[in-house]
Structure formats: structure tokens, C-alpha cells
Amino acid sequence: MLCIGDLPRAALPALASRFGFSVAFVTDGQPITGSFWGEPEAGIVGTTLYVRGDTPLHSALHELSHLVCMSAARRAALVRDAGGDDDEESAVCYLQILLANEIDGAGQERLMKDMNDWGYSFRLGTTERWFRDDAHDAAYWLQARGIVDKNNCLLWRLRND
């Protein structure tokens, strides 16, 4: 599994900053603030993403995608649980895959493999099949909110409704 410590230290903060978010690195062995799933999974509080070296990249990108997809009001009150409905959760999964291409050494294929290994569950089986053949509703959700364009290219905008 590709972890934050396997990447250049500036990679994730550079990506998060494109949306106006920050990344806080937690010292190895210390609890991760705002982690919903528990260590070593990423945490979120407000507009800050918390990670440490053993945090899987898929986890960090998933939580970052939650920050992007949620409304400003939800972000302002956020502590640990991103909430959202099933449609938003699908959009988050889709967006994290798109964001993987923005991290040198990661990419969509690697991220989807790690998502499968971690246990993400999609009705067609693998993450790859879902992304390719069954994620049209997730792509539309992101398009309708101006996060991606009609070609699913990132627009670097936040959902602020």
C-alpha cells in the first residue's frame, strides 16, 4: 500500500493547497487527529487534513475529497465525521481517483489497487470496474457542482453551497 511516507513530503500539501486546505503531519506513533477509522487512517478537522508517514495515500485522498465535496457550512463544523449521503460518498471515491494522478509516483491504477486491497466495496466488484463502467452518477455529481468539467477534468473549485 502506498503511504504518505513513500511520497515527497511536499506532494500532499501542494495538492491540498490548490483547494485552500492545509495538511498537518503527525509524528509517527502519535494519534492522528480527526481520524474516523483510527490509525493509520487520515483525519480531518475544519479545513485541515491530518496524516502521518504510515497513512495510506488512498485514505488521505479520500478525506481530502470529502473536504472538497462538502459545503462550506459543513466544513466549518467538521470534526472527524465527514457525513454526507451515498451520492456524495460515491463522488468522493471518484474524486480521490482523479486526484491520484496529481501525485507523482501514485496515479489512478495504483490508487485503485490500494482501494481494492483496503476493502472498498463496489457493486461491480473492483474499483477499476466501478470507475470505468458504473461511476457515471458520481462523475455527474462532481460536474453538477463545478468540481470537474464534462470531461471529468479537475476545475479546482470547492462546493460552497
The torsion angles phi and psi of 16, rounded to 5 degrees, stand at -60, -40
Mean pLDDT taken over the chain: 95
The Cα–Cα gap between 75 and 70 comes to 6
Q: Are residues 63 and 82 in contact, defined by beta-carbon separation less than 8 angstroms?
A: yes
Residues paired with residue 23 on neighbouring β-strands, in sequence order:
49
pLDDT at residue 118 greater than cutoff 90:
yes
* Residue the block writes with cell 496515479: 107
In sequence order, which residues have a C-beta less than 8 Å from that of residue 30 and are 6 or more positions away?
Answer: 52
pLDDT-derived band of residue 161, with 50, 70 and 90 as boundaries?
low
pLDDT digits (tens, 9 = 90+) for 129-160: 999 999 999 999 999 999 999 999 999 877 76
**Secondary structure class of 45 (helix, strand, coil):** strand
